[in-house]
Amino acid sequence: MDLQIIWFFIWGLLWAVFFMTDGFDFGIGTLMPFMGKNDNEKRIMINAMGPLWDGNEVWLIGAGGVTFAAFPILYATMFSSFYSALLLILFALILRGVAIEFRHHIDSSAWRQLWDACIFIGSVTPAVLFGVAFANIFKGIPIDANGIYHGNLYSLLNFYGLLGGLLFLLLFLEHGALWLAIRTEGDLHERTSKMANGLWWILLTVALIFLIASKYETNLYDNYYEKPVLFILVLVNLAAFLQIKYFLMQKKYLTAWFSSSLAIVCCTFFGLIGLFPTVFPSSIDPAYSLTAFNSSSSPLTLKIMLGVAIVFVPIIIAYQTWAYNLFRDKVTEKTLSSEQAY
Amino acid sequence: MDVVLLSRLQFAAATMFHFLFVPLTLGLSVLVAYMETQYVRTGDKVWLSMTKFWGKLFLINFALGIVTGITLEFQFGTNWSRYSAYVGDIFGSLLAIEATTSFFLESTLIGVWIFGWKKLSAKAHAAVMWLIAAAGNLSAIWILLANGWMQHPVGFDIRNGRAELSDFTAVLTNLFGWLEFFHVVSGAFVLGSFFVMGISAYHLLKKNNVDFFTRSFRIALVFGLASSIVVGLVGDFHGAHVAEVQPEKMAAMESHWETTANAPFYLFVVPDEKNERNFIELGKIDGFLSLLAFKDVNAEVRGLKDFPKDERPPVLITFLAFRIMVALGTLFILLTAAGWFLRNNLTDNPLFLKIMMFSIPLPYIANLVGWIVAEVGRQPWIVYGLMKTSDAASPISVSQVSISLAAFILIYGLLGAVGFYLIGKHAVKGPETDLVAGNI
């Protein structure tokens, strides 16, 4: 198989894993002002992701780094085209990161409210804008023969783009609510699992609308019609959505969360497989589109990077799994009173 | 203002702000790991409270370092897309390797360290801190090999209209990158130790927790003395290598205009860039510049006039930054050497403690001006001899970059102020008293 094809899938996988891991952090940050009734509950919510969010966020650096290394032309075109959107995301991530660390250093409610607001903004902004950005990629971007973007931040906020933003936000909210249901107990656990149950209906509706809208707004289905076997992915995706509800009803929250993870990964790949081999389609002329083949690095770089990925990605997954396992127990009031809490 | 200038300002703001936090992360992580190891070895609770006190300052600083680092990776794409497309084959892969081999480890383990006190054995917990310190310093290797490649590009062919990798070993063994690495990391260690010594000095002056802060001061002193000497030695090698491969930068660092053999060094110089000479040159030492640059008093040192005007770096900034860096570097060796003689009666020397307390900002300045020498001194090239900075910017609008630059300054300014306020607040407050009393 061509190196470029392998890298297309590794590239997609890194983004998918980023959405899968940091996604629940975004969800929790967005839910926090609505579900945390008092400071203790808010602290429980923060501590539910506290030991993990930093490691989760690095998948973004990994995805960005792989874009740079494996597809430098894509990296250059994509990030300069999405200049304003990406910087908004980055500022949001900065706010979230420092807010989580700063929040607990001064015991004053105004101080905590300030950083709570930053955690909310820092979570909802990336959740929506990543969805907007990816939906626009699915739809096609006004780039010319030289990869110059003819649009602005507002042209990304079209119907399909916003629908993508809404879908991502809901995916992450569901994912976050499930994570909270796993790691909390008592009243907060009851409310977060109820939230996951309620959100599920909205999520499923929006996901179906997105699937239908994709038929009219994008060419994603062309690949699927050409090789109908690919529709299995869509079926798996739908099955994953249904499993979330099924396991929720059985009160198997961890399994429900895994189903939600699978749904997020499938949603990402639904778009990417529809795009293949294109990575950044031009809406001006398909001839200007960036593909895995015309935007990639040299074969030598791709080979070296593949070696690095084969060795290190399993190691990363191993120690991250270890860290997740280390912090698998429930966050309680008792946890908060110990030193090991924000 | 054009996009290139605005993007340069934005990148300078973002990197320099990032580099207010990185050196402390590198230096302090090693010190905290050492303290925790001492705790594991001796079981002495003072070591534990030292680990927690300095660890808390480390974590506030770490949070700012990590979030500001994330924007850097993406700015190559947002603001320097032509650069990224041209050299991504090599430069991008070094950044990606950095993320895969070290940034993941550091970020994953920091959560484990903060929350894992009771979930891990004492030994394992200390090992996590060593891994964090190692991952941070390993990051520095990859980042500085990437920067070293921009300074002295090797191992590539120009194919398909871009620089394509032809020899990865050459990129990995690029002497420029390694000299930068040792210089930057030892400079970071100096900063970390001055930070610890300065804060300890403050408390020793007030006679707070004397045992706790004497120990902290002494560890940092040993670390700082060794690092100050290493940073100077490596700096000397590094300067000689710059003279060899970036003669314009060397000439700008010394404001040296005419190509001469047995080139003199002046103790005091005021450059006059417009008229291609120096206003004032005082304290001439014959042959010393040749000696510094080429280890030979009779060697020829090329002057700025030897290079086309449009390929010369800005002389005044490079020159001043270099002089400040060298002066501070010398001061660090003197201060830590003085500390070595006073180490057994620190509290009897309030003047020395005061000097150390007020010296905290100096390594920060030294680290930043060091980067100014490296980066401004490379101009007008973004990749030395290969691509000019003016050809590297993204095809984006002036308004986009103006707005983002304003946002960077505003957000970074506010967060930096809060971050340093919190560090200062915890530093002044000192360790938790119950920890010092040993009743945990």
Q: ipTM for the complex?
A: 0.90
Distances from the Cα of A98 to the Cαs of A93, B115, B313, B411, in angstroms? 9, 17, 37, 11
- Percent of chain A with pLDDT strictly greater than 90: 75
Partner B contacted by A84 (CB < 8 A): yes
**A265 vs B281: which has the higher pLDDT:** A265
Q: With the C-alpha atoms ordered A72, A77, A83, A89, is the resulting torsion angle positive or negative?
A: negative
User: Which of A58, A105, A304 is facing B99, going by the closest CB pair?
Assistant: A58
* B366 C-beta neighbours (distance < 10 Å), count: 24
Separation CA A50–CA B440 (nearest Å): 24
Residues of B in contact with A62 (CB under 8 A): 96, 99-100, 104
Contact A308 B395 (CB under 8 A): no
* pLDDT given at position B289: 84
Residue B292 has, within 13 A of its CA and on its CB side, a CA count of 20
Max CA distance (Å), chain B: 70
What digits encode the pLDDT tens for the residues B79-113? Answer: 999 999 999 999 999 999 999 999 999 999 999 99
Mean pLDDT over all residues of chain A? 92
User: Which of A75, A87, A316 is facing B104, going by the closest CB pair?
Assistant: A316
Q: With the C-alpha atoms ordered B120, B432, B424, B408, is the resulting torsion angle positive or negative?
A: positive
Q: How far is A72 from chain B (nearest CA, A)?
A: 5
Mean pLDDT over all residues of chain B? 90
Go through chain A and tell me how many residues it has: 342
Separation CA B381–CA B250 (nearest Å): 15
Contact A300 B407 (CB under 8 A): no
A·B CB contacts under 8 A? 227
Report DSSP state, residue A83: H
Burial class (CB in 10 A: 0-12, 13-18, 19+), A314: exposed
Burial class (CB in 10 A: 0-12, 13-18, 19+), B260: middle
pLDDT at B438 over 60: no
* pLDDT given at position B436: 46
Residue A208: which residues within 8 A CB-CB, separation 6 or more? Answer: none
CB B72 within 8 A of CB B145: no
Contact B117 A327 (CB under 8 A): no
What digits encode the pLDDT tens for the residues B417-427? Answer: 999 999 999 99
* pLDDT given at position B286: 82
Separation CA B416–CA B414 (nearest Å): 5
Separation CA A235–CA A253 (nearest Å): 22
Rounded to two decimals, what is the model's pTM? Answer: 0.91
* pLDDT given at position B440: 38
Partner B contacted by A304 (CB < 8 A): yes
Token representation of residue B67: 């979030």
**For residue B77, is it left (φ>0), alpha (ψ between -120 and 50) or beta?**
alpha
Cα–Cα–Cα angle for A332, A333, A336, nearest 5°? Answer: 95
Among A15, A298, A332, pick the best mutation site for testing chain B contact (most B Cβ within 10 A): A298
Task: Report the pLDDT averaged over residues B268-291.
Answer: 83
Give the H or E element holding residue B242: helix B210-245
Residue A71: which residues within 8 A CB-CB, separation 6 or more? Answer: A7, A11, A279, A290, A292, A295, A296, A297
Q: Which residues 44-73 of A are in CB contact (within 8 Å) with B?
A: 50-55, 57-58, 60-62, 64-70, 72-73
E strand map for B216-261: 260-261
* pLDDT given at position A152: 84
Cα–Cα–Cα angle for A170, A174, A177, nearest 5°? Answer: 135
pLDDT at B297 over 50: yes
Q: How far is A301 from chain B (nearest CA, A)?
A: 6
Report DSSP state, residue B314: P
pLDDT interval class at B439 (50, 70, 90): very low
Partner B contacted by A305 (CB < 8 A): yes
For A182-249, the three-class secondary structure string (H helix, E strand, C coil) is HHCCHHHHHHHHHHHHHHHHHHHHHHHHHHHHHHHHCCCHHHHHHCHHHHHHHHHHHHHHHHHHHHHH
Partner B contacted by A77 (CB < 8 A): yes
Contact A76 B88 (CB under 8 A): yes
Task: Report the pLDDT averaged over residues A35-45.
Answer: 89
pLDDT at B49 over 70: yes
Partner B contacted by A337 (CB < 8 A): no
* pLDDT given at position B240: 86
Partner B contacted by A122 (CB < 8 A): no
pLDDT at B437 over 60: no
Residues of A in contact with B432 (CB under 8 A): none
Separation CA B362–CA B329 (nearest Å): 9
Distances from the Cα of B358 to the Cαs of B109, B226, B262, B344, B352, in angstroms? 33, 21, 40, 21, 10
Contact A100 B400 (CB under 8 A): no
Strands B156-159 and B162-165: antiparallel
Q: How far is B11 from chain A (nearest CA, A)?
A: 13
* pLDDT given at position A211: 92
From the list B220, B201, B186, B223, the residue with the least C-alpha distance to B358 is B201
Q: How far is B386 from chain A (nearest CA, A)?
A: 18
Residues of A in contact with B3 (CB under 8 A): none
What would the DSSP string read from start to end of B161-181? TEEEES-HHHHHT-HHHHHHH
* A286 C-beta neighbours (distance < 10 Å), count: 11
Residues of B in contact with A106 (CB under 8 A): 422, 425
From the list B130, B230, B247, the residue with the least C-alpha distance to B181 is B230
Separation CA A43–CA B141 (nearest Å): 37
Separation CA B288–CA B286 (nearest Å): 6
Locate all alpha helices (DSSP H) within B116-174, ordered by sequence. 122-151, 168-172
pLDDT interval class at B258 (50, 70, 90): confident
| Closest chain B residue to the Cα of A51, Cα to Cα | B111
pLDDT at B433 over 70: no
Task: Report the pLDDT averaged over residues A79-106.
Answer: 91
What digits encode the pLDDT tens for the residues B122-137? Answer: 999 999 999 999 999 9
* pLDDT given at position A1: 63
Residue B36: which residues within 8 A CB-CB, separation 6 or more? Answer: B47, B48, B51, B55, B125, B126, B129
- The pairs formed by B261-269 with CB atoms below 8 angstroms and a separation of 24 or more are B261/B290, B261/B298, B261/B299, B261/B300, B261/B301, B262/B286, B262/B287, B262/B290, B262/B297, B262/B298, B262/B299, B263/B287, B263/B289, B263/B290, B263/B293, B263/B299, B263/B300, B263/B301, B264/B288, B264/B289, B265/B289, B265/B292, B269/B319
Partner B contacted by A98 (CB < 8 A): yes
Among B18, B106, B108, B172, pick the best mutation site for testing chain A contact (most A Cβ within 10 A): B108
Contact A80 B77 (CB under 8 A): yes
**Chain centre distance of CA B101:** 21
Report DSSP state, residue B257: -
Residues of B in contact with A11 (CB under 8 A): none
Token representation of residue A140: 């096609």
**For residue B155, is it left (φ>0), alpha (ψ between -120 and 50) or beta?**
left
User: Which of A90, A297, A319 is facing B89, going by the closest CB pair?
Assistant: A297
Residue B34: which residues within 8 A CB-CB, separation 6 or more? Answer: B219
Q: How far is B212 from chain A (nearest CA, A)?
A: 21
From the list A117, A126, A112, A143, the residue with the least C-alpha distance to A25 is A126
Task: Report the pLDDT averaged over residues B51-73.
Answer: 91
Residue B78 has, within 13 A of its CA and on its CB side, a CA count of 26
Contact A54 B120 (CB under 8 A): no
From the list B51, B64, B53, the residue with the least C-alpha distance to B24 is B64
